[in-house]
Amino acid sequence: MQRNELVLVVDDQPRMLQSLQDLMVGSGYNVITALGGQQATERLLEHDVDLMLLDLKMPGFSGHQVMDFVEERELNTTVIVVSGETCFDAMSQVLKSRAYDYIRKPYVPEDLLHTVENALNARQLECQNQVMNDRLARSEKLHRYLVNSSPDIVYMIDNKGYFTFVNDRIAELLGYVKEELIGMHYRDLVFIADAEQASYVFSPRAAADTSPRNVELRFKSRDGDRPPRFFEIKTIPIELQADDEAETDSDGATEVGIYGVARDISDRKEAERTINFQAYHDLLTRLPNRALFKDRLNLAVAQAKRAGHQMAVMFLDLDRFKLINDTLGHIYGDELLQLVSQSLQGCLRDGDTLARFGGDEFTLLMPEVDGKDDATVVAKKIIERLRQPFTIEGQEIYVTISVGIAMYPQDGSSMDSLVKNADIAMYHIKGRGKNDYQFYCREMNEATMQRLSLERDMRKALESEQFVLHFQPQIDVISGRIVAFEALVRWQHPSFGMISPTDFISVAEETGLILPLGEWVLRKACSVLSNWREQGIHDVRMAINLSSMQIEHKNFIGLVHEVLRENRLSGHDLEMEITENLIMQDMENSIKKLMQLNELGVQIAIDDFGTGYSSLSYLQKLPIHTLKIDRSFVNEIEKDGDDACIVDAVIAMASGLRLNLIAEGVEDEYQVEYLRDKGCCEMQGFYFGKPAPEKESVALLLNLPFADQRLPSVG
Ligand code: C2E
Ligand code: MG
Ligand code: MG
């Protein structure tokens, strides 16, 4: 039978070599030979020798040395010593550890062949074993790799709560070395706040309870220097039959505990946190927003009720913020709000909540105070703090703040009433010159209620045509002719009677009602003028007062155009009165709009001139025709007084700018003469006629004119 194994026969005696070779070849082995030890090493290097029959005693290079060589090179060659060594027995121990077996010379061929066969069989078995082991090792390596490269932490916890296994991922996520964690209790990894959750997933339970348990909790990092990470924990109980240890553990012990994965969900949590933050915070100032403030206030009210303590709610509003925003731009405005909110936060105590309520409004909750004095201290501190200017891009900006305060329980017992009353108190400071604090009191509410009902009534008034226009003549005292009428709005209130525009125009401006009201005035004034034209009254213009909101409205010019066309009027029939402050707010846009009015032929007059802040150079840039001297200056012209110099200055200024001039509020003859002597020849005032309804104004027009003569006063 032909065998696959390669056998190397080594002997220094050629005859012995030959006989062994013959024996082996005869038994079907592949045989190579080496005459002596030296040659044996060469053969071993040239071939993969399975089995070597080795003589021990050889001159020069002994069998021992050959075995040294095999060991050094880690050659996988089985050695059978064939030797005539006399002290063989003594050496047999040594030999046994290096060789498979030994055979004494002269040998018995059957014994030798038998030994060779045994050796080769043993070798084959070992080989198969090795393959199995390799396969096992590879498989284990693969599993280990899969477990360790899992994006999740994979772990096992015994039934006492100690880690018995954990994969490599833990190192990356939490900084622990794997070995540190083995034997550690899960409690040492979780925060006290999460203890209950942790016990739910990690405590031992019956293996039959195979339902997975899920919770989300945080694990501490090893050094506590990284932020804790959030994990989604899944566990199932395990019961492993410890097959491998069966020999050591005779009763076939089972391993019970918890197997689980922990998925890092910190990023998701972070995203959730951001979304949550955005829902409850103002992103510009990073302060709590209105919703969060109300939440906290609600909670604080409930607590204060239970504990019986007092509470303060403040409403804070920056003074003149709109002006800063309009003149310096929104970017400055935003930055200022950020700086202000930082500054305000510096005035608070732990537990207070400062929120941005909207725009330039902030609210402050002091959930526990001893009384008004506590709140006063904080309010004063806030006002004092804002005395320091803020610096934005090298520019110093001063802002002041108005603070309204409502106390729990005396000023309100609900969230809404407290905020509302603090707001009302704040509003009262605004009316009183700003930059102060004020506690709420009941009387304020009445004033505010009146204001609110005024607003409500005004909306109704617009629908039910309760507004009327009166007209006041403007006279050219040289010719004695009426050159124009100023349209002045009044409110015919069903229960309060005639209300003056000074009492409702500012509310209309704040609420935006000025837009529909202003449009109504424009339409009404134009339709009246159109009637007059039909009655043959020409050469008289209509002057209309405008608010800034009207001019700023994008469709304003379109509206004027449309109304003129509908009434078959031209722009030359109209004059628009605006105040200086109106233009100051948004110069560029205002100039643009005024130009467009000019193109329509509409004349522009600066109303209440002298009370604003305009400088000469600035007036020169504006497309205006007329300056209307404020009646407070006209009022100063007195018979025996000598301080009419402001009127003189205004008149001089107007002639310098080559502008038309009109004086309003002229009440007596002396004023008429004084103004005329100074060169101001157009006048308006009670002396010539009070604002009167349309009918009376027409009568006035038709009976006239005669020069330099007092007109009948009407109304
Ligand atoms: P104004 O435009 O300066 O109007 C002149 C005001 O002075 C009118 O008050 C008029 O009645 C009053 N007046 C006229 N002659 C004399 C006088 O000899 N002596 C005194 N003491 N007062 C005189 P009125 O009608 O109460 O209007 C007040 C302000 O309301 C107006 O001031 C104007 O700014 C505003 N206004 C009136 N109508 C409108 C309107 O339709 N739209 C807008 N936006 N504002 C209006
Ligand atoms: Mg006016
Ligand atoms: Mg005026």
Read off the pLDDT of residues 396-435 as tens digits, 9 standing for 90 and up. Answer: 888 889 999 999 999 998 989 999 999 999 988 876 667 7
How close is the Cα of 436 to the center of ligand 1, in Å? 32
Which ligand number lies closest to the CA of residue 487?
1
**For the chain, where do the domains classified as CATH 3.30.450.20 start and end?**
150-271
CA dihedral 494, 500, 506, 507 (to 10 degrees): -10
What stretches of 12-136 adopt beta strand conformation (E)?
Answer: 30-35, 51-54, 78-83, 101-104
Q: What is the pLDDT of residue 53?
A: 95
Residue 551 exposed, middle or buried by CB count within 10 Å (0-12, 13-18, 19+):
buried
> Taking 50 as the threshold, does the pLDDT of residue 710 lie above it?
no
Candidates 3.30.70.270, 3.40.930.10, 3.40.1190.20, 2.40.70.10; CATH matching 282-460: 3.30.70.270
Q: Give the integer Cα–Cα distance in Å for 439 and 202.
A: 56
**Residue to mutate (ligand 1; options 485, 488, 521, 667; most atoms within 8 A of CB):** 488
Domain 150-271 has CATH 3.40.718.10: no
**For the chain, where do the domains classified as CATH 3.30.70.270 start and end?**
282-460
Position 552 confidence tier, pLDDT thresholds 50, 70, 90:
confident
Rounded mean pLDDT of 452-463? Answer: 85
Position 562 confidence tier, pLDDT thresholds 50, 70, 90:
very high
| Closest residue to atom 21 of ligand 1, CA basis | 665
- More confident site: 657 or 343: 343
Q: Are residues 120 and 101 in contact, defined by beta-carbon separation less than 8 angstroms?
A: no
Lowest mean per-residue pLDDT among 132-136, 215-219, 287-291, 704-708: 704-708
Q: What is the pLDDT of residue 313?
A: 97
Residue 490 exposed, middle or buried by CB count within 10 Å (0-12, 13-18, 19+):
middle
Q: Give the integer Cα–Cα distance in Å for 256 and 238.
A: 6
Q: What is the pLDDT of residue 712?
A: 42
Q: Give the integer Cα–Cα distance in Å for 705 and 715.
A: 19
Rounded mean pLDDT of 472-484? Answer: 95
Q: How many CB atoms lie within 10 A of CB 381?
A: 14
Cis link prior to 705 (omega < 30° from 0)? Answer: yes
Q: What is the pLDDT of residue 515?
A: 92
Rounded mean pLDDT of 423-452? Answer: 81
Cβ of 501 closer than 6 Å to ligand 1, yes or no, is yes
Q: Give the integer Cα–Cα distance in Å for 695 and 715.
A: 11
| DSSP 8-state class, residue 478 | T
Q: What is the pLDDT of residue 178?
A: 84
Rounded mean pLDDT of 157-175? Answer: 88
- DSSP letter for each residue of 587-642: HHHHHHHHHHHHHHT-EEEEEEETSS---HHHHHTS---EEEE-HHHHHT--SS--
How close is the Cα of 112 to the center of ligand 1, in Å? 138
> Taking 70 as the threshold, does the pLDDT of residue 685 lie above it?
yes
> Taking 70 as the threshold, does the pLDDT of residue 586 lie above it?
no
Q: What is the pLDDT of residue 483?
A: 95
Residue 312 exposed, middle or buried by CB count within 10 Å (0-12, 13-18, 19+):
buried
Name the nearest CA neighbour of 82 among 24, 42, 43: 24
Length of the chain measured in residues: 715
Q: Give the integer Cα–Cα distance in Å for 198 and 213.
A: 11
User: What amino acid is encoded at 300 in this protein?
Assistant: A
| 684 CA closest ligand 1 atom index | 15
Q: Are residues 609 and 630 in contact, defined by beta-carbon separation less than 8 angstroms?
A: yes
Q: What is the pLDDT of residue 294?
A: 93
Lowest mean per-residue pLDDT among 160-169, 577-586, 597-606, 683-692: 577-586
How close is the Cα of 133 to the center of ligand 1, in Å? 107
Write out pLDDT tens, residues 260-282: 999 999 899 889 888 888 899 99
| 579 CA closest ligand 1 atom index | 34
Rounded mean pLDDT of 286-300? Answer: 94
How close is the Cα of 448 to the center of ligand 1, in Å? 25
Write out pLDDT tens, residues 55-114: 988 999 999 999 999 999 999 999 999 988 766 665 666 677 788 888 888 899 999 999
Q: Are residues 675 and 688 in contact, defined by beta-carbon separation less than 8 angstroms?
A: no
> Taking 80 as the threshold, does the pLDDT of residue 588 lie above it?
no
Lowest mean per-residue pLDDT among 315-319, 451-455, 532-536, 690-694: 451-455
For 705: left if phi > 0, alpha if psi spans -120 to 50, otherwise beta; the answer is beta
Cβ of 473 closer than 6 Å to ligand 1, yes or no, is no
> Taking 80 as the threshold, does the pLDDT of residue 301 lie above it?
yes
Cβ of 335 closer than 6 Å to ligand 1, yes or no, is no
Residue 684 exposed, middle or buried by CB count within 10 Å (0-12, 13-18, 19+):
buried
| 666 CA closest ligand 1 atom index | 18
Q: What is the pLDDT of residue 568?
A: 96
Cβ of 629 closer than 6 Å to ligand 1, yes or no, is no
Q: Give the integer Cα–Cα distance in Å for 407 and 309.
A: 11
How close is the Cα of 534 to the center of ligand 3, in Å? 29
The CATH code for residues 6-130 is 3.40.50.2300
Classify 429 as helix, strand or coil: helix
Averaged pLDDT of the chain: 88
How close is the Cα of 576 to the center of ligand 2, in Å? 9
- Angle CA(190)–CA(196)–CA(201) in degrees, nearest 5? 80
Which ligand number lies closest to the CA of residue 517?
1
Q: What is the pLDDT of residue 407?
A: 97
Find the radius of gyration of the CA atoms of the chain: 53
Residue 504's alpha-carbon distances to 444, 455, 511, in angstroms, are: 19, 9, 11
Which ligand number lies closest to the CA of residue 505?
1
Lowest mean per-residue pLDDT among 113-127, 182-196, 427-441, 675-689: 427-441
- More confident site: 96 or 372: 372
| Closest residue to atom 40 of ligand 1, CA basis | 545
Q: What is the pLDDT of residue 626?
A: 94
**For the chain, where do the domains classified as CATH 3.40.50.2300 start and end?**
6-130
Spatial CB neighbours of 406, under 8 Å, sequence gap ≥ 6: 312, 313, 314, 315, 412, 417, 418, 419, 421, 422, 425, 439, 440
Classify 182 as helix, strand or coil: coil
Write out pLDDT tens, residues 592-632: 899 999 999 999 999 988 776 666 667 777 889 999 999 98
Q: Are residues 670 and 635 in contact, defined by beta-carbon separation less than 8 angstroms?
A: no
Write out pLDDT tens, residues 198-246: 988 888 777 677 788 889 998 888 887 777 889 999 998 888 765 544 3
Name the nearest CA neighbour of 366 among 358, 379, 375: 375
CATH architecture of 468-710: Alpha-Beta Barrel (3.20)
**For the chain, where do the domains classified as CATH 3.20.20.450 start and end?**
468-710
| Closest residue to atom 15 of ligand 1, CA basis | 685
